[in-house]
Amino acid sequence: MSFLFRLFFHDRTANALVWWLKLPDNARFSSQSSSRMTLATATQPEEARDKAGLSHSGSRRSGPDTAFHLLVAASALLVLVVLGGLVVLMGVGGSQAFRTFGLGFAFHDVWNPVADQYGAWAPLFGTIVSTLIGVAIALPLAFGTAFWLTAMAPPRIAAIVGTAVQLLAAVPSIIFGMWGFFTIVPFMARTVQPFLTHHFRHVPGIRFIIHGAPFGTGLMTAGLVLAVMIAPFMTAVMRDVFAAMPAMLRESAYGLGATRWDVMWKVVVPWSRTGMIGAIVLGMGRALGETMAVTFVIGNVTAVGWSLFAPRSTVASLIALQFPESPAGSLRLSALLALGFILMLLSFASLALARMLRGDTK
């Protein structure tokens, strides 16, 4: 490994690399020595051993040690390169679209492959609204269930339900998509939408939200399926966070005469606020980039509108459906990659938000 470095870089570059990877000092490269890289340890044994700590019980052993260090550092570097490549390639691939449509690409609401006009607003709107609906439904479900599991349920039942919920958090998303497609979509089309249309058709303020033919697909359906998908995950995290609170705090509050809800709202929630925020944002991140669960139930029409019950599309579903039909080098492909880039930024922002709210900068 080190030999390879020596082949490709000058001494100074190689040394910079060594410094950057935080290799022990004795691994410096030096062209004064013979053509192969030599370790300086032999010439300055005492200081090097002291500096490098455990690893230098003998000068001859540091050869394989350095090789091992370089090996694991290289795999760390590879992980870094993969993500860097992901971001860069998405940006480069989408640059054609960004050049053609400018920054307005993100807010342009026409997606028309026939006229070669592309704007990201329709799928972005779908992604954001369906995610918000999903989180808004999943949050009370998860919070209520975690409350029940940690404060009310008999221990035996809590253990069973808790394990079941944790297991269900691992079910692949395509299963939720199928379930939504065969259960929720017909339910929405036959029961919910006719009911809403019949009763709220003329109510101002609600009318435009429920507008649309009863297809059963749309943002509301997608939000529901997303909620069911992320709720087990959020419940599992919240339950762990609640259970991690020292029992002393809980018992003291009960001892002072607090009711169950008092303990929950005034002791447990403030204590575990950061963990709860983490659970919510992680659930949101999952919903943002979800492809399979959404593609089945969103209807896949690139339109913008306030109706929650009309077919729409999300970034991920649009990519999944249109990418296979887009020829290489076309503007459409570039627009899809640009969409991917924006989705990447969204998911990155949600992770950064979680870290910021949690208050650690590591």
Partner 1 sequence: MSETVVSTTGWKPNPRAARRRRADHLATAFGMVMAGILVLVLASILWTLLSRGLAGLSAAAIMKPMGPPGSSSGLANAIVGSLIQTFMALLMATPLGLGCGIYLSEYGTETNKFASCVRFVSDVLMSVPSILVGLFVYQVLVAPFGHFSALAGSVALAILAVPIIVRTTEDMLRLVPTSMREAGAALGATRWRVTLSLCLRSAKTGVLTGILLALARVSGETAPLLFTSLGNQNWSFSLNRPMASLPVTIYQYAGASYEDWVQLAWAGALLVTMGVLAINIAVRVSARRG
Which residues, in sequence order, are CB contacts of 35 under 8 Å at separation 6+? none
Contacts 24+ apart (CB under 8 A), 81-87: 86/344, 87/341, 87/344
User: Rule CB under 8 A: which of 151-170 touch partner 1?
Assistant: 151-153, 161, 163-165, 167-168, 170
Min separation Cβ 217 and partner 1, Å: 12
Rounded CA separation 77/183 (Å): 46
Give the interface segment with partner 1, choosing from 197-205, 209-217, 241-249, 253-261 (CB under 8 A).
Answer: 253-261
Min separation Cβ 98 and partner 1, Å: 16
**CB of 223 within 8 A of CB of 284?**
no
Give the position of tokens 């969204």: 346
**Both tokens assigned to 99:** 């050049």
Give yes or no for residue 55 binding partner 1 (CB under 8 A).
yes
Give yes or no for residue 99 binding partner 1 (CB under 8 A).
no
User: Rule CB under 8 A: which of 61-90 touch partner 1?
Assistant: 61-62, 64-65, 67-69, 71-80, 82-86, 89-90
Rounded CA separation 119/305 (Å): 15
User: Rule CB under 8 A: which of 302-321 touch partner 1?
Assistant: 316, 319-320
Give yes or no for residue 126 binding partner 1 (CB under 8 A).
no
User: Rule CB under 8 A: which of 179-208 touch partner 1?
Assistant: 179, 181-183
| Residue number with CB closer to partner 1 (53 or 246) | 53
Residue 59 exposed, middle or buried by CB count within 10 Å (0-12, 13-18, 19+): middle
| Residue number with CB closer to partner 1 (82 or 103) | 82
6, 50, 55, 11: which is closest to 30 by C-alpha?
11
Question: Which residue type is seen at 182?
Answer: F
| Residue number with CB closer to partner 1 (49 or 312) | 49
Give yes or no for residue 2 binding partner 1 (CB under 8 A).
no
| Residue number with CB closer to partner 1 (102 or 140) | 140
Rule CB under 8 A: choose which of 256, 328, 359, 360 binds partner 1. 328
